[in-house]
């Protein structure tokens, strides 16, 4: 058991949370089908606005998981930068409000706000401020689960995330948000995401999620044996779009599992804090794509240092990068969960679903969640 | 590691900063800054991309906030978009087919010789960018990157040898990047009042060097030793301090730590707060004081009775903080929020040195 003094038990039962999490793939499927029905209409709407406005910047703005999700279109756009004539950036909402909200009638920026409720204080204030500056409503888009937010009339486009009720904020909605802003990103890089090939790949993602569900309790228990439950600190390390999951899982570990956690990119960890590793080192690595670059060297070396050389720490690797997995699969201090995802920028969906199911089992073992 | 060597490095900081400042107000340094300013217009630069790893990357955060602060105003002299990327992510994910010809790339590396920084410059040169669109910030002007770019695009800083990597060079990089940012977006690069403020800052750091033991002892007495984790929470340009402090804490004092923005903390992991919660709150401007107060109340009264050291430069915030017994206020006088990170990290480095000594990591 954790030694921490204040341990709050969640008011929800394990069974109800598990049932809710198992509903995530269906929830995502509904969202996918909703957008595939819109398909060309949506593309036309977006392209019409893009053609009207001389865009120089696309900003994604949200708080917590909405902000983390925005890393996905950011990496997508970065990877396809050759197709873009504009700059892209994501901002944490408070930071945007305090330091970046324009003070003039900016005619060259698209502001994409992301908010599940569509009613959060700073989202409303920010949008109202843009409105006061006479910024064209077509430059203000909102990704939300609220079909009638109070700022609806100030937004040129509203993208529903179609999430049913969720017991834990940011579980199902985070995954649908990822999907929706990925779609927006695809259209912004001039790729049509609405075709059979992509639809089938999306269905494969849902199947991978369900496949993991069928063995999640058994795997989670193996990981608990492997990690132990008394560790005080856990690192979430990643790169690219999967960083969004590392950030969100780190947040979930703190709020949901009451474990201190930190999230860093492999690059930052490798060039800085790896020296903290000792035999208590516990980390989850997310490697959701096969854009390897230097990582083909760095990640196995990092694993070697933290599990063999500097310390005998333990790592859970969740990924679909065959080459890196091959290099570390024989290391007894690495537990691997391998999945398949043919849309690398959407690997985070599977990674997150896997992570929440594992964190749930940890929370039960730590006595934070009770059975019925 | 040797305590005295590290301490001497910290005490040496004012001297190195003065050397860096003197360089940039000299004919040669000013020429480089003015040339950079002209280059923004002649090469039609509309984007800046800062690239570096670890503390080099953190240092560039100050530049981002500075340059972005001008982008908010439609009538500012120059409005440039900027971005900062950790070098590994840049090399892995940026599509090499075509890079924006109107972007200025700023490579930051103390040695100028690290593998990825070398790869980055080779990559950029291969992209057939105008060579003047690449500048480097380094303490080694004869390094690989220093020799690859136009000599006039090498912006040196002076940190010589250091026992703990980054202890002096991070601070000098901050100053160098501040001046580069001014060259990018300001008409008058180093007006008298800016030079005066930097000199005042250097003086204050020197003064702190004679007083560090007293302040550090106060911090340590206040924080106690019974904590598992140290949070560094911040906002704006001072976020660079939070990230760098957390990294130093992890790598050299072997204390678990995280650097995080106030916004993210308030909308997320605040539930981790309990009576053992310890945090260093670093505030370098007077934006949304009420939010900072909300955070302090949450940590010290509402969710737990944690403790906060507030390092800030605001008379108003300091006086509000002093009313709370679980907040220890340290106020400094560097008002420019883009120079404040220099002072903030100095204070924290002395504290972390003390922590490392107590843990038996330095002798």
What chain A residue is nearest to B304 in terms of C-alpha separation?
Answer: A6
Query: Which residues in chain A touch residue B81, judged by CB atoms under 8 angstroms apart?
Result: 56-57, 87, 89
Sheet-wide strand order for B327-331 = B256-261, B229-234, B278-283, B307-312, B327-331
Q: How far apart are CA B334 and CA A73, in angstroms?
A: 38
B3-190 matches B198-358 in fold: yes
At residue B96, the pLDDT reads 56
Test B98 with A292 for CB contact under 8 angstroms.
no
The count of C-alpha atoms lying within 13 angstroms of the C-alpha of B256, restricted to the half-sphere facing its C-beta, is 20
Query: What number of C-beta contacts closer than 8 Å exist between A and B?
Result: 170
B128 touches A: beta carbon within 8 Å:
no
User: So what's the ipTM on this one?
Assistant: 0.93
Chain B interface, mutation test: which of A271, A282, A359, most B Cβ atoms within 10 Å?
A: A271
Q: Residue A4: is its pLDDT beyond 60? A: no
CB contact under 8 A, A5 and B274: yes
Restricting to A residues 211-270, those with a Cβ less than 8 Å away from any Cβ of B are: 232-233, 239-240, 251, 254-255, 258, 260-262, 265-268, 270
**8 Å CB contact of A94 and B86:** no
B214 within 8 A of B102, measured Cβ to Cβ: no
- Which residues on chain B are in Cβ contact (under 8 Å) with A254? 268-269, 271-272
- How far, in Å, are A43, A130, A189, A315 from residue A111 at the CA level? 18, 9, 16, 38
Confirm if B145 and B121 have CB atoms less than 8 A apart. yes
Which residues are CB-contacts of A200 (< 8 A; sequence separation ≥ 6)? none
Can you give the pLDDT at residue B160?
78
Residue A95 contacts residue B261 (beta carbons within 8 Å): yes
User: Measured between CB atoms, does A121 come within 8 Å of chain B?
Assistant: no
Interface of B with A in 17-46 (CB under 8 A): 46
Give DSSP secondary structure letters for A93-135: HHHIIIIIS-SS---SEEEEEEESSS--HHHHHHHHHHHHTT-
pLDDT of residue A3: 40
Q: Which among A4, A273, A292 has CB closest to B247?
A: A273
Distance between CA atoms of B249 and B27, rounded to whole angstroms? 39
pLDDT, residue B98, reads: 57
| pLDDT over 60 (residue A298) | yes
Q: What Cα–Cα distance (Å) separates residue B223 from each residue in A103, B217, B327, B345, B351?
A: 41, 10, 10, 18, 11
Interchain contact, B53 vs A82, CB within 8 Å: no
**Residue A38 to chain B, least CA–CA distance (Å):** 30
Strands B81-86, B103-108: pairing kind: unpaired
In this prediction, residues A207-215 reach a mean pLDDT of: 97
* Spatial CA neighbour of B166 closest among B206, B205, B85, B111: B111
Give dist(CA B295, CA B293) in Å, integer. 5
Instruction: Look at residue B250 and tell me whether its pLDDT is greater than 80.
Output: yes
For residue A89, the chain B residues in CB contact (below 8 A) are 81, 83
Q: Does A276 touch chain B (CB under 8 A)?
A: yes
Beta bridge partners of A261: A234
CA distances from B40 to A232, B32, B34, B127 (A): 49, 13, 10, 19
Question: Does residue A66 register a pLDDT over 70?
Answer: yes
Among B72, B119, B272, the residue with its CB nearest the CB of A254 is B272
State chain B's mean pLDDT as an integer: 94
Q: For B278-306, what is each residue's pLDDT tens digit?
A: 999 999 999 999 999 999 999 999 888 89
- In B67-86, the residues whose Cβ lies within 8 Å of chain A are 68-69, 71-75, 81, 83, 86
Q: What structural domains does chain A harbor? A: 23-194 (3.40.50.10490), 205-365 (3.40.50.10490)
Cα–Cα distance measured from residue A29 to residue A205, given in angstroms and rounded to the nearest whole number: 10
Which DSSP category does B138 fall into?
Answer: E
Mean pLDDT of the region B75-82? 91
Inform me whether the pLDDT recorded for B132 exceeds 80.
yes
* Interaxial angle between packed helices B340-358 and B192-223, expressed in degrees from 0 to 180 and rounded to the nearest 10: 30
Task: Say if residue B216 is exposed, middle or buried (CB neighbours under 10 Å; 0-12, 13-18, 19+).
Answer: middle
List Cα–Cα distances, B277 to A4, A6, B305, B318, B323, in angstroms: 11, 11, 8, 21, 19
pLDDT of residue A351: 97
Distance of CA A301 to the CA centre of its chain: 26
Helix (H) or strand (E) holding A317, with range, is: strand A314-319
Superfamily of B198-358 according to CATH? Glucose-6-phosphate isomerase like protein; domain 1 (3.40.50.10490)
Structure tokens at B197: 């403020």
CA–CA dist B345, A188 (Å, integer): 40
Q: Which residues of B touch A57 (CB under 8 A)?
A: 81
C-alpha dist (Å) from residue A163 to A179, B40, B204: 12, 47, 54
Within a 10 A sphere around the Cβ of A30, how many other Cβ atoms?
A: 13
CA distance A261 to A282: 10
The answer to whether B35 touches B152, Cβ cutoff 8 Å, is yes
- Tell me which chain B residue has its CA closest to the CA of residue A67: B264
d(C-alpha A321, C-alpha A287), whole Å = 6
Q: What is the CATH number of domain B3-190?
A: 3.40.50.10490
CB < 8 Å to A274, chain B: 251
Q: Note whether B264 contacts A92, CB cutoff 8 Å.
A: yes
- For residues A338 and A308, give the distance between their C-alpha atoms in angstroms, rounded to a whole number: 22
Model confidence at B99: pLDDT above 80:
no
In chain B, what are the domain boundaries?
3-190, 198-358
Q: Which of B47, B68, B88 sits opposite A265 (nearest CB)?
A: B88
| Nearest-by-Cβ selection for A98 from B83, B258, B287 | B287
Residue A23 CA: distances (Å) to CA of A13, A354, A357, B322: 16, 13, 12, 49
Helices B27-42 and B13-25 cross at an angle (nearest 10°) of 60
Q: Report pLDDT digits (tens) over A103-160.
A: 999 999 999 999 999 999 999 999 999 999 999 999 999 999 999 999 999 999 999 9
Q: Which residues of A touch B100 (CB under 8 A)?
A: 81
| CA dist., res. A89 & res. A218, Å (int) | 40
Q: Which residues of A, range 282-301, sit inside 8 Å of B by Cβ?
A: 291-295, 298
Distances (CA, A) of B273 to A9, A229, B267: 15, 20, 13
Q: Which residue has the tokens 């199947």?
A: A207
CB distance A37 to A67 below 8 Å:
no
C-alpha closest to that of B180 among B71, B80, B75: B80
* Cross-chain Cβ contact A272/B250 below 8 Å: yes
pLDDT in tens, A311-349: 889 999 999 999 999 999 999 999 999 999 999 999 999
- Given a contact cutoff of 8 angstroms between Cβ atoms, the answer to whether A267 and A239 are in contact is yes
pLDDT tens column, B47-58: 999 999 999 999
């Amino acid at each position: 058991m954790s030694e921490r003094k204040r341990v709050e038990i969640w008011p929800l039962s394990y069974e109800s949370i598990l049932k809710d999490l198992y509903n995530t793939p269906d929830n995502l499927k509904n969202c996918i089908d909703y957008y595939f029905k819109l398909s060309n209409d949506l593309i036309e709407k977006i392209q019409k606005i893009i053609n009207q406005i001389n865009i120089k910047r696309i900003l994604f703005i949200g708080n917590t998981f909405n902000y983390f999700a925005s890393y996905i279109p950011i990496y997508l756009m970065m990877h396809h930068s050759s197709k873009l004539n504009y700059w892209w950036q994501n901002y944490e909402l408070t930071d945007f409000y305090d330091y970046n909200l324009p003070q003039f009638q900016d005619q060259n920026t698209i502001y994409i706000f992301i908010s599940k409720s569509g009613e959060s204080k700073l989202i409303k204030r920010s949008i109202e401020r843009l409105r006061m500056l006479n910024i064209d409503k077509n430059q203000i888009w909102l990704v939300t689960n609220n079909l009638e937010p109070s700022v609806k009339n100030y937004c040129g486009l509203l993208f529903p995330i179609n999430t049913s009720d969720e017991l834990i904020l940011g579980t199902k909605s985070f995954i649908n948000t990822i999907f929706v802003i990925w779609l927006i990103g695809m259209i912004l890089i001039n790729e049509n995401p609405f075709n059979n090939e992509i639809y089938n790949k999306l269905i494969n993602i849902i199947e991978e999620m369900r496949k993991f569900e069928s063995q999640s309790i058994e795997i989670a228990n193996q990981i608990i044996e492997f990690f132990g439950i008394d560790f005080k600190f856990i690192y979430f390390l990643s790169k690219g779009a999967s960083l969004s999951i590392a950030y969100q899982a780190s947040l979930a570990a703190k709020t949901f599992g009451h474990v201190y956690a930190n999230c860093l990119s492999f690059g930052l960890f490798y060039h800085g804090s790896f020296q903290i590793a000792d035999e208590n080192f516990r980390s989850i690595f997310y490697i959701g794509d096969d854009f390897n670059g230097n990582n083909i060297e760095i990640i196995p070396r990092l694993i070697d240092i933290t599990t063999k050389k500097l310390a005998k720490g333990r790592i859970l690797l969740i990924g679909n990068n065959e080459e890196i997995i091959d290099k570390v699969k024989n290391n007894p201090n690495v537990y691997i969960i391998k999945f398949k995802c043919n849309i690398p920028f959407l690997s985070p969906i599977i990674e997150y679903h896997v992570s929440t199911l594992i964190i749930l089992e940890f929370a039960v073992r730590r006595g934070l969640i009770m059975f019925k | 590691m040797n305590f005295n060597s590290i301490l001497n490095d910290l005490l040496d900081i004012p001297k190195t900063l003065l050397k860096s400042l003197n360089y940039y107000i000299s004919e040669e340094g000013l020429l480089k800054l003015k040339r950079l300013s002209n280059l923004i217009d002649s090469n039609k630069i509309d984007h800046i991309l800062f690239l570096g790893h670890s503390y080099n990357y953190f240092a560039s955060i100050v530049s981002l906030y500075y340059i972005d602060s001008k982008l908010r105003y439609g009538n500012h002299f120059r409005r440039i978009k900027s971005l900062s990327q950790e070098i590994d992510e840049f090399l892995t994910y940026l599509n090499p087919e075509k890079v924006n010809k109107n972007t200025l790339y700023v490579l930051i590396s103390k040695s100028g010789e690290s593998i990825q920084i070398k790869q980055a410059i080779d990559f950029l040169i291969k992209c057939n960018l105008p060579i003047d669109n690449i500048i480097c910030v380094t303490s080694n002007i004869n390094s690989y990157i220093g020799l690859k770019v136009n000599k006039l695009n090498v912006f040196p800083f002076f940190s010589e040898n250091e026992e703990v990597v980054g202890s002096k060079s991070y601070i000098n990089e901050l100053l160098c990047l501040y001046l580069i940012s001014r060259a990018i977006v300001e008409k008058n690069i180093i007006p008298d009042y800016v030079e005066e403020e930097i000199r005042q800052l250097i003086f204050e750091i020197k003064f702190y060097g004679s007083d560090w033991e007293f302040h550090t002892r106060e911090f340590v007495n206040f924080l106690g030793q019974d904590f598992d984790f140290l949070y560094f929470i911040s906002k704006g340009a001072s976020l660079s301090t939070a990230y760098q402090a957390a990294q130093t804490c992890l790598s050299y004092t072997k204390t678990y730590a995280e650097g995080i923005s106030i916004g993210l903390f308030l909308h997320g992991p605040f539930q981790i707060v309990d009576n053992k919660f310890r945090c260093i709150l670093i505030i370098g401007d007077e934006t949304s004081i009420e939010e900072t107060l909300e955070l302090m109340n949450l940590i010290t009264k509402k969710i737990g009775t944690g403790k906060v050291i507030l390092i800030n430069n605001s008379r108003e915030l300091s006086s509000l903080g002093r009313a709370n017994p679980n907040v220890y206020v340290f106020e400094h006088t560097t008002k420019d929020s883009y120079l404040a990170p220099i002072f903030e990290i100095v204070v924290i480095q002395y504290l972390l040195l003390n922590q490392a000594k107590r843990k038996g990591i330095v002798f």
